[in-house]
Structure 1
């Protein structure tokens, strides 16, 4: 697995349907870093992730490993929220081998690579099953293996555990932390879940409400792994991030006329 690549966003803006979704985004992500993007719904987190993947044209510039992003590339792997991204007519092993086969990797080499990555995500026992035979959590593991087998230097994850039950989500969060430590690729992870961001990330980047969303805060999480949600330092960070996001949500609701400003309280003379 190659070392993770740095990511640099300079003055990044993106317009969809005539509306500017994100504007003036400046962000540096170090090689091998795990960064979570956190923010209110509709603030452009997934849009920004798609831009790094090369799926969306932008103003400004995005560089990965010092090279400009001009479109999708094998150096950037994307794990989607839906496990439907797996091909249902292929076994788990065949799904994982799909990318190397397209690249012309010899049969023996791609079989060895698939076996290694299935073991990495704990799915060796399910290699010959079809996606419909797997639980949601197992399908997401298979999707992660299918991305990692291509040895990307950057892995982009768009709420990959959002559709899972709480127990499965917790297990996969621990598994992802283990996999990241084993591969040391750079990960950019979109989530709505503050606790998920705290448990996983080196840094949490919060975004302002859209339209024209940008970076609001960047919090470094200098806490050892595994992280304890009952730790006072963790709880303090949770409250800080909750307040940051809550302020943006309130601003959006006020702009939509759904929440009124609190009336000023008169003080007695």
Structure 2
């Protein structure tokens, strides 16, 4: 049975992440221009748009991996000037895992680097193995796992560091369709349990609808920006056959189709 949608609440005065007038230029080429966006604490926001519109570029700026050419990016009102432990990043590829470590040791890596004792790490690892449904795979190594299982390990490793904000760059993009569907539902379950602030990059409309509280649609590049923002107030877990879901999907699909046509028109 679907969960009841809680009544809307006013966003807090200080956003979890705030982008104001963000611009990214490479010489005379302007990839992203004049982006204003606020991500509220504990919300799941998807950045959605056609390929090459700058979604991953914006996520890299939020992670502190790069600096904007102009504008500001703040976390809790403080400027982001580089990577921070409060910001966890889940990449599309699971190559970031350490193949020579077990699943349990991969998850324990962050807490160990922070100086947490082995005794204190044990319950943290056990909790995150449970959270991602891998308690029976603790002693396996990443090469022994399927793609979906490796991505679960990557998510658990990030969450074990207790980040305030989780940034996810198309983490299921390399998975087959069936596994991707399973992982979307698993991530929705994990988010409902933990309620981390999440920014999730995708070009898949259904993925965005299944996961997000809000969807920020980006315009086609160059000079890409935030074209429109949709509130997704559908009950969780989402019913893809409901009329509300279908109507919203159609609206967003039409919105993005305009941008795809623009991007194709820009190509020689």
| Fold conserved between structures, TM > 0.5 | yes
Match of 1:242 in 2: 253
User: TM-score normalized by structure 1?
Assistant: 0.91
Matches within 5 A, 1:108-123: 108-123=119-134
Looking at structure 1, the residues matched to 151 and 28 of structure 2 have their Cα atoms a distance apart, in angstroms, of 34
Confirm or deny that 1:54 pairs with 2:61: no
Q: Which moved more, 1:7-16 or 1:30-39?
A: 7-16
Q: Within the alignment, does 1:85 sit opposite 2:60 as a pair?
A: no
Deviation of the 1:256 alpha carbon = 2.1
Cα separation, 2, equivalents of 1:256 and 1:159: 24
In structure 1, distance between residues paired with 2:88 and 2:156: 11
**Counterparts of 2:94 and 2:267, CA distance in 1:** 34
Root-mean-square deviation (Å):
1.1
Q: 1:31 aligns to what?
A: 41
User: In structure 2, how many angstroms separate the alpha carbons of the residues matched to 1:255 and 1:55?
Assistant: 28
Deviation string for 1:131-152 (max 9, x for gaps)? 0000100000000000000000
State which drifts further: 235-244 or 137-146: 235-244
Match of 1:40 in 2: 50
Structure 2 residue 232 is the aligned partner of structure 1 residue 221 = yes
Q: How many angstroms does 1:191 deviate by?
A: 0.5
TM-score using structure 2 length: 0.92
By how many angstroms is 1:183 displaced? 1.1
Over 4 Å off, 4+ runs: none
* Aligned equivalents of 1:16, 1:178: Cα separation in 2: 39
SS of 2:252's equivalent in the other structure is: helix
1:151 is matched with which residue? 162
Alignment partners' CA distance in 1, 2:227 and 2:18: 17
How far apart, in 1, do the equivalents of 2:43 and 2:90 lie?
17
Match of 1:196 among 191, 197, 207: 207
Per-residue Cα deviation, 1:58-108 (whole angstroms, up to 9, x for no partner): 121111122211100010000001011111111111111111111111111
Unaligned runs of 5+ in 2: 1-14
SS in 2 for 1:73: coil
The CA deviation at 1:19 is 2.4
The secondary structure found in structure 1 opposite 2:41 is: coil
